[in-house]
Amino acid sequence: MTHAAVVDFETYLDESADRVTVALDALIPRAEGPEARLLSAMRYAALGGGKRLRPFFVLQCGRLFDVDERGLLRVAAALECVHTYSLVHDDLPCMDDDDFRRGRPTVHRAYDEATAVLAGDALQALAFEIICHVDTHSDPRVRADLAASLARASGARGLVGGQMIDLEMEGADVDVGIVTRMQRMKTGALIGFAATAGGIMARASDDARQALAGFAHDLGVAYQIVDDLLDVEGDPNILGKAARKDLGRGKATFVAALGVEGARDQARRLAAQAKQHLDHFGSGATLLRQAVDFVLNRNV
Amino acid sequence: MTHAAVVDFETYLDESADRVTVALDALIPRAEGPEARLLSAMRYAALGGGKRLRPFFVLQCGRLFDVDERGLLRVAAALECVHTYSLVHDDLPCMDDDDFRRGRPTVHRAYDEATAVLAGDALQALAFEIICHVDTHSDPRVRADLAASLARASGARGLVGGQMIDLEMEGADVDVGIVTRMQRMKTGALIGFAATAGGIMARASDDARQALAGFAHDLGVAYQIVDDLLDVEGDPNILGKAARKDLGRGKATFVAALGVEGARDQARRLAAQAKQHLDHFGSGATLLRQAVDFVLNRNV
């Protein structure tokens, strides 16, 4: 990827992140009334920045099918609500016990633990409220299918189940099979939803949906491997959170299973595979190809 | 209400509770695979008994419109997943810090805090997965409307917002207006969903839906007043949880705002009002009228 392409892509990513933040700002109620503290914590968590990579994939994969932009933004915002709630709960003292996230105190540090639990709970409910609203898509079948798909990706067989396995594997012997399975649930499920939501909204062909599901799978694992590498090699000042925490805790990571070089090779292979899935969409998927390179080479 | 009617009603309630438990048992995956611990905690929380009063209202209010029983049971189970997750999170040390629930150790005592947070999160996701599945209703518009309605009732302007206000009011001066508003959100929102879900599924008339919404509102407040009275006067051995906890914590309750006698009078008035809303349905609502008496006179 040339330097110009990198700049272009990061500009696109920033623009897309800004638009999702604007959508979230409009969709999360103002912090007013007796429940102001709760709403304030939800806004603090959801509007505090972040790469908004999952929303980016919702928007870009939806554009492959010319899906209405307003609906895509709502789905992107709903997905970000789920992703954000999972970070708020994962940061709690009883889970990963993190004090910083995106360069700011975590929600339970800025507010308190009870507020963090409740803000997460309310963000999950809001995600489904957003998805099921008629403004997301005029066809109620699409809305119901999107909600069902997001619920599956978020639940015991997806995001939450992956987090449970992650906690249980601390200190255990790991092999790459178990780590891959855990990460397919913990990270892969939401990335899979991000990549396929547009296909649901456009009632795209099975071939197209399968290509995007394959893309999401390979990309999701590559993303997590890079995350694990950044924990070992990253700069906490750039990351906005502590580094080298996984190693200290005996977390089951790809680096623990494959070593640094093995993990890096595996990420490269998966990134190449992810791009192959995009062949289905020809030149329409140029930005998505750049996104794969971005994921592979990111330092944050 | 005659003694025979009470016996009849309690038999109905028990039967309905059993059927909802069977439905939940089928809908929450077996505790197998690497996420077994999570699934086990979800099952422990959801299958551990309880009156299943909210599911009862789903079933009985749905029968007013001859709604398909299988769909009603799924909605009742989904609602119970939300109710259960909220109990699991409310019991956490950072919230109400309760060790017992329904006569057994709470989830964070039987498992651990992280597992309790995650089991709650996964139960919420499961609720929407159940609602949005085609088996719940053949019309996708109904599924999307049910999910939207449950999400609103569960979120920052409903259940979760009410719990936030409840925590914030501890030790503060309370008046009946604030307590009523808090309880309309914390308890009333889910009871409102329970009473109106059948109307959504049957696409019932606005009149019928309004009558049930009014019924749910008055019943919900009456229910909470009795809950507050039981905290003061109830027997912990029968309740299956600690009593007199609210008072010790300076919780904002109806008893704190109205006194014991004032609260009891108010509960009676609301119960009578709740029954008036049922006039719309004539003799078809006999069991629902008995349910109002049960709520008013319950000792558990």
Q: Find the radius of gyration of the CA atoms of chain A.
A: 18
Q: Which residue has the higher pLDDT, A133 or B9?
A: A133
Q: Is the pLDDT of residue A80 over 90?
A: yes
The residue of chain B with its CA nearest to that of A181 is B34
Decide if A128 and B148 are in contact by the 8 Å CB cutoff: yes
Q: Which of A95, A115, A161 sits opposite B38 (nearest CB)?
A: A161
Question: How many angstroms away from the CA of B287 is the closest CA of chain A?
Answer: 32
Work out the percent of chain B whose per-residue pLDDT is above 90: 79
Which of B74, B157, B249 is the mutation pick for testing A, counting most A CBs within 10 A? B157
Decide if A128 and B128 are in contact by the 8 Å CB cutoff: yes
Residue ranges of B 15-54 with Cβ closer than 8 A to chain A: 29, 34-35, 37-39, 42
Q: Is the pLDDT of residue A142 over 80?
A: yes
Q: Which of A29, A144, A167 sits opposite B143 (nearest CB)?
A: A144
Residue-wise pLDDT tens digits, B241-254: 666 677 667 788 89
Q: Which residue has the higher pLDDT, A181 or A75?
A: A75
Residue-wise pLDDT tens digits, A255-299: 988 999 999 999 999 999 999 999 999 999 999 999 999 999 987
Q: Which helix (H) or strand (E) holds A241?
A: none
Question: How many angstroms away from the CA of B235 is the closest CA of chain A?
Answer: 28
Distance between CA A128 and CA A296 in Å, rounded?
31
Decide if A114 and B95 are in contact by the 8 Å CB cutoff: yes
The residue of chain B with its CA nearest to that of A138 is B141
Q: Is the pLDDT of residue A3 over 80?
A: no
Question: How many angstroms away from the CA of A292 is the closest CA of chain B?
Answer: 29
In the prediction, which pLDDT does A175 show?
Answer: 81
Question: How many angstroms away from the CA of A40 is the closest CA of chain B?
Answer: 11
Q: Is the pLDDT of residue A30 over 70?
A: yes
In the prediction, which pLDDT does A50 show?
Answer: 85
Q: Which residue has the higher pLDDT, B158 or B172?
A: B158
Q: Is the pLDDT of residue B239 over 70?
A: no
Question: How many angstroms away from the CA of B133 is the closest CA of chain A?
Answer: 7
Instruction: Say which range, A6-20, A202-216, A225-239, has the weakest mean pLDDT.
Output: A225-239
Q: Which alpha helices (DSSP H) does A133-253 contain, by range? A: 140-154, 159-168, 176-183, 189-201, 206-233, 236-239, 245-249
Decide if A38 and B150 are in contact by the 8 Å CB cutoff: no
Decide if B35 and A164 are in contact by the 8 Å CB cutoff: yes
Give the model's confidence band at B48: pLDDT under 50 very low, under 70 low, under 90 confident, else very high: confident
Decide if A165 and B42 are in contact by the 8 Å CB cutoff: no
Question: If you count DSSP H runs as helices and E runs as strands, how many of each does chain A have, helices first?
Answer: 15, 2
Q: Is the pLDDT of residue B177 over 80?
A: yes
In the prediction, which pLDDT does A195 show?
Answer: 97
In the prediction, which pLDDT does A44 show?
Answer: 98
Residue-wise pLDDT tens digits, A226-247: 999 998 887 766 666 666 677 6
Residue-wise pLDDT tens digits, A106-130: 999 999 999 999 999 999 999 999 9
Give the model's confidence band at A165: pLDDT under 50 very low, under 70 low, under 90 confident, else very high: very high
For range A174-194, the mean pLDDT = 91
For range B11-30, the mean pLDDT = 96
Mean pLDDT of chain A: 92
Q: Which residues of B touch A113 (CB under 8 A)?
A: 94
Q: Which residue has the higher pLDDT, B236 or B128?
A: B128
Mean pLDDT of chain B: 92
For range B239-266, the mean pLDDT = 81
Whether residue A115 lies within 8 A of chain B, CB to CB, comes out as yes
Whether residue A165 lies within 8 A of chain B, CB to CB, comes out as yes
The residue of chain A with its CA nearest to that of B144 is A144
Question: How many angstroms away from the CA of B86 is the closest CA of chain A?
Answer: 9
Q: Which of A117, A152, A154 sits opposite B117 (nearest CB)?
A: A117
Q: Which alpha helices (DSSP H) does chain B contain, by range? A: 3-27, 36-46, 53-63, 69-90, 107-110, 113-132, 140-154, 159-168, 176-183, 189-201, 206-233, 236-239, 245-249, 254-277, 286-297
In the prediction, which pLDDT does B7 show?
Answer: 64
Q: How many other β-carbons are positioned within 10 Å of the β-carbon of residue B240?
A: 15
In the prediction, which pLDDT does A66 show?
Answer: 96
Residue ranges of B 121-140 with Cβ closer than 8 A to chain A: 121-122, 124-129, 131-133, 139-140
- The residue type of A283 is S
Q: Is the pLDDT of residue B264 over 70?
A: yes
From residue A115, give the alpha-carbon distance in Å to each of A46, A100, A195: 14, 16, 32
- Nearest Cα to B122, choosing from A163, A13, A206? A163
- The number of distinct structural domains making up chain A is 1
In the prediction, which pLDDT does B247 show?
Answer: 65
Residue-wise pLDDT tens digits, B91-121: 999 999 999 998 899 999 999 999 999 999 9
In the prediction, which pLDDT does B289 show?
Answer: 96
Is-contact A128 A152, C-beta < 8 A?
Answer: no
Question: How many angstroms away from the CA of A204 is the closest CA of chain B?
Answer: 18
Burial class (CB in 10 A: 0-12, 13-18, 19+), B115: buried
Q: Which of B129, B160, B165 sits opposite A125 (nearest CB)?
A: B160
The residue of chain B with its CA nearest to that of A85 is B121
Residue B65 is part of which domain span? Answer: 3-297
Q: Is A32 helix (H, G, I), strand (E, B) or coil?
A: coil
For range A175-201, the mean pLDDT = 93
Q: Is the pLDDT of residue A150 over 90?
A: yes
Decide if B129 and A117 are in contact by the 8 Å CB cutoff: no
Find the CATH number of the domain harbouring A76.
Answer: 1.10.600.10
Whether residue B154 lies within 8 A of chain A, CB to CB, comes out as yes
In the prediction, which pLDDT does A129 show?
Answer: 98
Decide if A155 and B125 are in contact by the 8 Å CB cutoff: yes
A253: which 2 tokens? 């990571």
- The residue type of A149 is S
Q: Is the pLDDT of residue B2 over 70?
A: no
B113: which 2 tokens? 């805090």
Question: How many angstroms away from the CA of B6 is the closest CA of chain A?
Answer: 37
Distance between CA A264 and CA A232 in Å, rounded?
12
Work out the percent of chain B whose per-residue pLDDT is above 70: 93
Q: Which residues of B touch A163 (CB under 8 A)?
A: 118
Instruction: Say which range, A78-82, A244-248, B147-151, B184-188, has the weakest mean pLDDT.
Output: A244-248
Instruction: Say which range, B64-68, B127-131, B168-172, has the weakest mean pLDDT.
Output: B168-172
Counted across chains A and B, CB pairs separated by less than 8 A come out at 174
